[in-house]
Amino acid sequence: MISLQNIEKVYRTDTIQTLALNNISLDVAKGEFLSIMGPSGCGKSTLLNIMGLLDAPSKGSVRIDSQQTNSLGDKQLAAFRNKKLGFIFQSYHLINDLQVLDNVELPLLYRDTTAKQRRELAAQALEKVGLSNRMKHFPTQLSGGQRQRVAIARAIVGRPEIILADEPTGNLDSVMGNEIMDILTGLNQNEGTTIVMVTHDENMARKTHRLVRLFDGSQVQ
């Protein structure tokens, strides 16, 4: 589903250059639930951003669903992200000025859908994460766990084949973290969604199919 070949990422400034990822090759199978672990600054998020086409590698190739992505332009990349990928972030990235339902609808705004279709799909996504009763609330009126569930609903509303989660339980206590993991596991098992999750939590990582460890930008496991 996702194939990374010899990925290298170098950040350059005027005076120094930092090697964030060094020769990473990784294949993620369709329907797989993969977790990426490693200490802070080891390149986990960079790797996830490259998988999510939010960042371009300095070297190497990214192939998603058999599509070579290196040569895609801004419009094609945006369309690709919109249709194929769903993102979940540690800090949720909800728009506080929009109600929950409107937040969940966001990815559909960049597709050719009617307002009615958007409403229906967003409502269905919220139902899946158990937040049907919070549609008219604003994010600031929700707990951390609820906000992350809204973020999951937003990630799945467009029915993407891949979900990329960057420390989705990082800001939550263990109870809420487990709830989020249950939802992600359910999505993976019931709907066959491929999930790549960056985490610091060994317990959460153990619930996934496979664990990849990074250290100083290199894959160590």
**Residues making contact with another protein (CB under 8 A):** 45-46, 49, 52, 54-55, 74-75, 78-79, 81-83, 87, 89, 91, 93, 95, 97-98, 102, 106-107, 109-111, 115, 154, 158
Radius of gyration of the chain (CA): 17
Q: b/e map of 165-194 (b: 16 or more CB within 10 Å)?
A: bbbbbbbbeeebbbbbbebbeebbeeeebb
Query: What single-letter amino acid sits at 101?
Result: L
8 A C-beta contact, residue 181 and residue 85: no
Nearer CB in complex with another protein: 134/154: 154
6 three-state secondary structure: strand
Task: Compute the least distance from the CB of residue 25 to another protein, in Å.
Answer: 21
The angle, 0 to 180 degrees and rounded to 10, between the axes of the packed helices 100-109 and 144-156 is: 30
Nearer CB in complex with another protein: 144/178: 144
Task: Compute the least distance from the CB of residue 28 to another protein, in Å.
Answer: 18
Nearer CB in complex with another protein: 12/75: 75
Task: Compute the least distance from the CB of residue 208 to another protein, in Å.
Answer: 22
Nearer CB in complex with another protein: 68/91: 91
Task: Compute the least distance from the CB of residue 128 to another protein, in Å.
Answer: 18
8 A C-beta contact, residue 28 and residue 91: no
Task: Compute the least distance from the CB of residue 206 to another protein, in Å.
Answer: 26
Torsion sign across C-alpha atoms 119, 125, 126, 130? positive
Nearer CB in complex with another protein: 22/82: 82
